[in-house]
Structure 1
């Protein structure tokens, strides 16, 4: 039976884990396992294509669109097993954000055009939301799209655009009406990046890596049919995407990865012989598993078509701050090596103990900072004044 015809949800968890492990072993090179930094497209594109060809790339998508159709419990097993196996993170904006949004809001023609190209790896996506003066106040964005015949002409810029240097497509919020209140004049556009007028500049992050970018648009054209939803309805549509992004940010994926690195450092230095450390590690592991249960509950609400509220904000805070606590424990467990960047000797091994710490800083900011999430909870759950 081909992979994409498999009823994954009917498998036992153990059988499902074994199938994933066998596929990773056969298709994911050892040099890509447990990477300390986010890889570039050239490194992981072959692995991404292998997952897509096998029907294993999009765990949450319905099967009719080429996904695995996993229920929330199986999605959690998928995430945990992929992290345990050390499978690298992909350039996944098309998988976790654009795909679900198109499934919810795209036309049948747009779904047919773009979803298969996510799975094949032909299209690599990035997200064009934040701007230099429109981050937390996203509705203040200035990038403008003007309709000219059968195409929109786009001018402006986006910032903090993850992995844009490797992407060939971007989905972006743009201003299409400046005469109405700011939330009402925004549209959601798909824009090909490989064309004249597009400039991408990388930004070096806290770890000295180039992962974030600025993207500039100078009279860039995109067909009118690349408008998702109705003209000037982008703000409503964007909230769907932000919900998916925050759910993904609220997954235990990064915490599972950080736990792997914490365990590796602790074993190299014999920290588990210390009952205080062993108890701390156990508490962090339980926190991560509790997070996984909460994540599965929220995913089930998505599957049921239920409206999501402040629980998405709770999930994002929980996940991102749990991961930060784990990475701080890595530095503490590493002792003197915890203050040195790059590969350093740790108990006879060569490890980069600061990479997970640096990697965990940004998630409490992007997709709505922890402070914004707490404000949402204060307003919608506690009914506190603005």
Structure 2
């Protein structure tokens, strides 16, 4: 196993770093480095910049318009963009549904949907979780009934991240109640501007609007929007979830946030406290270990060996690390972590923090928001069972 980068890979890294420095808007980078709220324009603006370069679908093969990078090149791209303060690519289009369309969609669907994803012009949402059907996705109840050349969809999805911005949704729907629950699920692409689609916000504790409920009332979906075969959607969903769980690990964001934690600790004078330094050191060791796990996978892929399917392991460790660094930031900030008045924040109140340092805003809400990471994408308890069965038999 070789964990070092070749001269060619180092040159590639330098090229990515130079391009990002030249093209990433400074105001967006500032927001990301200081955990300030990103608007839709921020997120989609960066997506369009990448799309124009041909890098929004940075993991795509050349045959579908991607750069055709190796696994290591993709890792280096992710690392350099994260450290530079670029927003995370909203994954629902380029990272999640696109690989499903490439693998299981027909040529017409690929021609129709992939260009809008690659350019960043079309915003996709994920229609998986339902009330009572989160980690147990096989129990979804949203129904799609075939009538002629269309499906009639009725039901509800919940926790739809950034669904208020969605143009299209990839949707798990029930098309049969016969046999095992997994065998009656289909994978539909749904235009969110269709009559009968209602998006209702779920307000979080900090007043933010990140997630939504989505209701379907006799929504008509052309049958040509069915991916693959009817009642085979569970297979396609599992393919997609492997991309989601790997994406959740996000080791490169953890490295960036570790540096932010150190800045806050120094600002508040707790960096020299031995016990607090010990906690930072333990976190840093775990981040390095997570990165080594990622590099092991990349090394195996480069050498052509079959690596252990570690999507579940990456999700478990990555999500726990996210919770730990958000908790340590809040502890370091002390009383400055607590107040959150959204209107004041939007008016620039964060300048009242020590030294006008916006890195403190808003630490408590980030801490509470990160509680979700060990639940979504398949709860860590379920992932541990899957890993145990896979590794131990």
- Counterpart position of 2:156: 157
Q: CA deviation at 1:369?
A: 0.8
- Return the alpha-carbon distance in structure 1 between the equivalents of residues 300 and 23 of structure 2: 30
- Counterpart position of 2:387: 377
- Counterpart position of 1:61: 60
Q: Which moved more, 1:61-70 or 1:338-347?
A: 338-347
How does 1:233-312 map onto structure 2 within 5 Å? 233-298=232-297, 311-312=310-311
Indicate which of 356, 361, 366 corresponds to 1:356. Answer: 366
The SS at the match of 2:33 is: coil
Q: CA deviation at 1:136?
A: 1.9
CA contact (8 A) 2:153 2:217 kept: yes
- Return the alpha-carbon distance in structure 2 between the equivalents of residues 74 and 123 of structure 1: 26
CA contact (8 A) 2:198 2:214 kept: yes
- Return the alpha-carbon distance in structure 2 between the equivalents of residues 23 and 309 of structure 1: 37
Residue by residue, what CA displacement relative to the aligned partner does 1:91-136 show, whole Å, maximum 9, x if unpaired?
3310110111212222122111111101222321011011112112
- Return the alpha-carbon distance in structure 1 between the equivalents of residues 89 and 15 of structure 2: 24
- Counterpart position of 2:13: 13
CA contact (8 A) 1:84 1:260 kept: no
- Counterpart position of 1:103: 102
The SS at the match of 1:190 is: strand
- Return the alpha-carbon distance in structure 2 between the equivalents of residues 9 and 104 of structure 1: 28
Q: CA deviation at 1:179?
A: 2.5
- Return the alpha-carbon distance in structure 1 between the equivalents of residues 121 and 355 of structure 2: 43
CA contact (8 A) 2:194 2:219 kept: yes
TM-score normalised by structure 1 residue count: 0.88
**Over aligned residues, Cα RMSD in angstroms?**
2.6
The structure whose residues are more often helix, as a share, is 2
How does 1:164-179 map onto structure 2 within 5 Å? 164-179=163-178
Q: Which moved more, 1:183-192 or 1:340-349?
A: 340-349
Structure 1 residue runs of 5 or longer lacking an equivalent are 1-7
* Pairs aligned (count): 375
- Counterpart position of 1:119: 118
- Return the alpha-carbon distance in structure 2 between the equivalents of residues 240 and 303 of structure 1: 21
Q: Which has the higher contact order (CA 8 A, sep 6+)?
A: 2
Q: Which moved more, 1:172-181 or 1:256-265?
A: 256-265
- Return the alpha-carbon distance in structure 2 between the equivalents of residues 297 and 190 of structure 1: 35
Residue by residue, what CA displacement relative to the aligned partner does 1:160-189 show, whole Å, maximum 9, x if unpaired?
111110001000111111233211111101
CA contact (8 A) 1:71 1:300 kept: no
Q: 1:261 to 1:357 in 2, by over 3 A?
A: farther
- Counterpart position of 2:4: none
- Return the alpha-carbon distance in structure 1 between the equivalents of residues 302 and 73 of structure 2: 13
Q: 1:358 to 1:346 in 2, by over 3 A?
A: farther
Q: Which moved more, 1:281-290 or 1:134-143?
A: 281-290
Q: Which moved more, 1:152-161 or 1:87-96?
A: 87-96
The SS at the match of 1:357 is: helix
Q: Which moved more, 1:275-284 or 1:358-367?
A: 275-284
Q: CA deviation at 1:77?
A: 2.2
Residue by residue, what CA displacement relative to the aligned partner does 1:22-65 show, whole Å, maximum 9, x if unpaired?
22258x65565436255342343222211101112122111332
Is residue 2:150 matched to residue 1:142? no
Q: 1:118 to 1:38 in 2, by over 3 A?
A: farther
Q: 1:286 to 1:176 in 2, by over 3 A?
A: same
- Return the alpha-carbon distance in structure 2 between the equivalents of residues 167 and 236 of structure 1: 24
CA contact (8 A) 2:29 2:86 kept: no
CA contact (8 A) 1:298 1:312 kept: no
Q: 1:324 to 1:201 in 2, by over 3 A?
A: same
CA contact (8 A) 1:37 1:355 kept: no
- Counterpart position of 2:353: 345
Q: 1:99 to 1:84 in 2, by over 3 A?
A: same
